[in-house]
Structure 1
Amino acid sequence: MDLKTIQDHPAFRQLARERACLGVGMSMVMAAAYFAYILTIAFRPRLLGHPLWHGTVISWGVLIGVGLIALGFVLTAAYVRRANSRFDQLGQLLLEDLQ
């Protein structure tokens, strides 16, 4: 079995395509959210400097920053769930077909 045989297999092509699409999509979501946050800090810092409610020292910027970190965890969990289900199925199908 050589590399060309594996690369030409339909299950491998589907696995590679699905992984790439999911990875690029999730990366774009995270990058867009992060850059929106950074651009808001750069150009409209007062929006993020407002306190959550009267009398607190915690601002909206802190809450949104924590939300960005949580978004990273959620996207990672979604990717792992997809990898452990669909991607593992395609990998197993590929192994069975190539043996």
Structure 2
Amino acid sequence: MKNAELSHAQSCDRIRANPKFQRLVRSRSRLAWSLSAAVLGAYYLFMLVVAFYPQVLHAPLAEGRQLTVGIPVAAAIIVLSWLLTGWYVRSANTRFDALSADLLEELK
């Protein structure tokens, strides 16, 4: 049992030391944090406008209309979140999977 644990630990160390693995982790983390910051930034900016300038969001889209500016802005934040999620999924399924496959080939 000790030999298996040692072998597993050595394999993990070898993977972590590989430059391709480090590049994969770095690029995935950078993209994930950037997209998270974009979504959170948009959401908190919206909340700041709601808190400090609600009259901007209460304004009607057109004269005599019931729809206010706040509804399309909120919908745009939701659509932005969907688009950024799609961007991450596309990157994960193309670039990150290719890097993972290269890493696995090298480690065999």
- TM over 0.5, shorter chain: yes
- The aligned runs of 1:7-22 (5 Å cut-off) are 7-22=16-31
- The aligned runs of 1:1-99 (5 Å cut-off) are 2-99=11-108
RMSD over aligned Cα atoms: 0.9
Bigger RCO (CA 8 Å, 6+ sep): 1
Distance 1:28 1:9 in 2: 29
Render the CA deviation track for 1:33-73: whole Å, top value 9, x for unaligned: 11100000000100000111112211111110000000000
Q: Provide runs of 4+ in structure 1 moved above 3 Å.
A: none
> If you compute each CA radius of gyration, which structure gives the higher value, 1 or 2?
2
Q: Which runs of 5+ in 2 are unaligned?
A: 1-7
- How far is 1:85 from its partner? 1.0
State the TM-score, normalizing by the size of structure 1.
0.96
Q: Which runs of 5+ in 1 are unaligned?
A: none
Q: Give percent identity, aligned residues only.
A: 36
- Please name the residue that 2:3 is paired with: none
State the TM-score, normalizing by the size of structure 2.
0.88
